[in-house]
Amino acid sequence: MSLWLQSAIEHLNGRRYKQFWENLLPIAPIPIPQCMIQELEFGEKFCTDPADDPLFPIRFLWLLEGNEQRCFNLPMLERSRFHPEILLFDIWERAVNEPKFREEIESDGFRFNWTEKAIAMSTGWILIGNHFAEDLFQIEFLLHEELLFPDNKTGELRTVFQSFRNHT
């Protein structure tokens, strides 16, 4: 599965969406959840111009890292780089709710697609969408494994989005 996911990530990051649909998706070693298909469709629609930022397929990266965590006890964030709670709460929600913060980070190069709910960061476009936490839960369900991320304050490994987990 890891080799398939690495190839999928390379295709998506390289804007080779048609080849992904035709050559990789039919041989996927597992059922691909809808949240990952939505990420692919976002890339097809908004990340096609080589002069612009590529798609950063964070959901595919979570699946890859989650599989490596499950099989080899390797840590999350090696490839996905961005802590999901920081992306959702400290960047996205703050940018939505605090115009001054939004102006500051836009001056640092961040860009936003408000309609699709996405952020362009140093690595490319990250789709936040309407169900970011739930998307992570879909990937955990697929893996039969809770993904463990380092706590921002203690560094201790823990599950993320506790407030969402308690309501699902």
Q: What's residue 57's pLDDT?
A: 98
Residue from 108, 105, 84, 94 nearest 162 by CA: 84
Amino acid in the structure at residue 57: P
Query: What are 149's two structure tokens?
Result: 């991320």
| Intervals of the chain under pLDDT 50 | none
Compute the distance between CA of residue 153 and CA of residue 49 in angstroms, rounded to an integer.
38
Full domain range(s) for residue 66: 2-165
Strand intervals (E) in the chain: 111-113, 118-121, 124-127, 149-150, 157-158
Q: What's residue 86's pLDDT?
A: 96
Q: What's residue 43's pLDDT?
A: 97
Q: What's residue 166's pLDDT?
A: 75
Q: What's residue 165's pLDDT?
A: 84
Q: What's residue 48's pLDDT?
A: 96
Q: What's residue 153's pLDDT?
A: 86
Q: Which residue has the tokens 């490994």?
A: 157
Contact 136, 147 (CB under 8 A): yes
Q: What is the pTM of this model?
A: 0.95
Number of domain units in the chain: 1
- Other Cβ atoms within 10 Å of 164 Cβ, number: 15
